[in-house]
Structure 1
Amino acid sequence: MAASTALASSNSRMPRVTIDTEALKANWRTLDALNGKARTGAAVKADGYGLGAGLVAEALFEAGCRDFFVAWVEEGVSLRASLDGADRRDARIYVLQGLALADVPACLEAGLIPVLSNLAEIAAWGEGLERAGCSAPAALQFETGMNRLGLDAAEIPIVKAAQAGGALDIRLLMSHLASADEGTEQREAQRLQFLAICENFPGVERSLANSAGSFLGEGYAFDLTRPGIALYGGRAGAPSDGKLKPVATLTAAILQVRAAKAGEAAGYGAAAKLARDTRIATVGLGYADGYPRAASGAGVPLRETRPGAMAFVAGHMVPVLGRVSMDLTLLDVTSVPTDLVEPGMRAEFFGANVSIDAVADAAGTIAYELLTGLGKRVERVY
């Protein structure tokens, strides 16, 4: 075997995800134009889908977004610090996974709006406000068919009693579509159930649509949509095709280019059997960085039903070769002219040239998991 290696500084060779904030803003504006008077929010939980919640939210605020959704109170506190300053005070930050009594002071200090999904959370919020001697807005989430988080319709009388007694200032009613990207009867049944629930709270704003739901028209948009993956350029159901720009580009450096002979094998388990003389680019990216092992070119169960992932090198699409390992991935660059591939250059694993959804399909997962799974070693560049 022959090999060529080039030395470079460690930083220049680390995996990198480049975030195009202008594309992010453009996607938000595209979504915002879909549904008339409904406002368009943004899910920035899980550290802005792995891309950095603070900078993502700053860009979206500049685009016009004022409603942001996180999962935990701690995420909301951090986001409020990022959106600090007099010109950012009108940003509304909702905490989707409710709160415990101990969370109330932090919630109040950061001006967060908890999304309360059960009676215990409503009681905790009320007790926390009583202790603090103040009032503050909250949102309510109702169960309409997903069986995940949410109050039941049968609990509405208890909720209304708390509202009437002044212990609950409801600013938003929510539910969550389970099948927004599929033409099923379930999503319409959820919409109708949500409408019936909202009739009990006249004048309160309503929110049902996620990314895919944002493309279903004003009947699903209500007063506020809350897209997530669509903002970041991921597929959000068939209607989104071609309308959204890729936001994140994952690249990694080629560390070595090898010439292997027909009959040899590559990678763990000798999973890739070489039927021809093959040029192999070894790239510094692996499953420890969030690039899934299931995207391997061979040696994993999914290869029995679908092809492995592709990457983009020097203007050419090339296949992943063998098994993705912890720190390294092999690419078959035999089809790329020899003088175009050398150590130090970067290969794109998803972005403008390689659809993140295509990689997700190869790995048997979804774009959400690829973004939120990006590891700490992956440098974020804006």
Structure 2
Amino acid sequence: MSTTTSTDQVLRAHAEQAYADELAALAAVDDRPRPPQWKLSPWAVSTYLLGGTLKDGTAISAKYLGNRRLIEIAIASLATDRALLLLGVPGTAKSWVSEHLAAAISGNSTLVVQGTAGTPEEAIRYGWNYARLLAEGPSEAALVPGPVMRAMADGGLVRVEELTRIPADVQDSLITILSEKTLPIPELDTEVQARRGFNLIATANNRDKGVNDLSSALRRRFTTVVLPLPDSLDQEIEIVQTRVASLGASLELPADLAELSEIRRVVTVMRELRSGQTADGRTTIKSPSSTLSTAEAISVMTSGLSLATHFGEGRVGAEEVAAGLVGAVVKDPIQDTVIWQEYLETVVRNRPEWADLYRACRDLETAN
């Protein structure tokens, strides 16, 4: 069975595939110094992430809308021998940024260790082909290199997602790798030494503090960059609009998003509920159990696009976003339902321009 699929057939192309034209355009004009094994210079990597117009007129789209200095610090760290830890609440684009950094620097964003409570040490180090191991004993042929070992051997970047979800004893298997740049293989009495260009990007959710905290020895091996929630309403609207338009195109959802009014309302609801007060600061409200990040707003709007395309009149309105809003806010059916109903009655109902959204949300309650 073939494992190669055209990028126009996959649901979501890897960053280096989806933005291949931009990466090629940057490489063509990039005349600045590049660290060993890097596909682009640090300047070009930051331009790829933050967007800009090249001297030949090529427009580079912004992959991250936020503080430029944070991205520059992240890139500068990766140009040294220090690993990078991207920290933040859910929905602050940690995985998105790590993927695009790997795509721009190494040309390959697919070397990934997905952290979970059940991640074994073999996922960080290496495994074995047990049929060959039993038949032949320990040998290079029986060794199955993991993403970290492959990145070390190739001089590339490897990504570790949700590092603090990984058990502490497994996390600490990274210490020797990051400090000595060496992965011992005692079964073969040998080791893999990292080639120049190797580095590691980890992400962690700071809401998971206390789950599997990093040891001080491991934390010292990272430069930590905290990715914040968007600073302003307008910035968050721009992020949501950009991502929803991209997702809508890839999913072939042609519903109209020309009007930003629904995006503005959805983002306003999310920001008010997570901050615990209305935008004007006059009313204090309760926050639900869910994070209500920018990613949730993108999900609500994408769901609205699908409803408008397949069951509506092709335009996203209050009825299309209401169901997604309720689903995003109400994660705890008891506590969050009360908080959402209070918000509807004390905030949404008292905004005349939101009368249609209030009715749509109440109609959902009646239908249920």
Q: TM exceeds 0.5? A: no
Larger RCO, structures 1/2 (Cα 8 Å, 6+ apart): 1
Q: Given the two structures, how large is their TM-score scaled by the length of structure 1?
A: 0.31
Normalized per residue, the structure richer in strand is 1
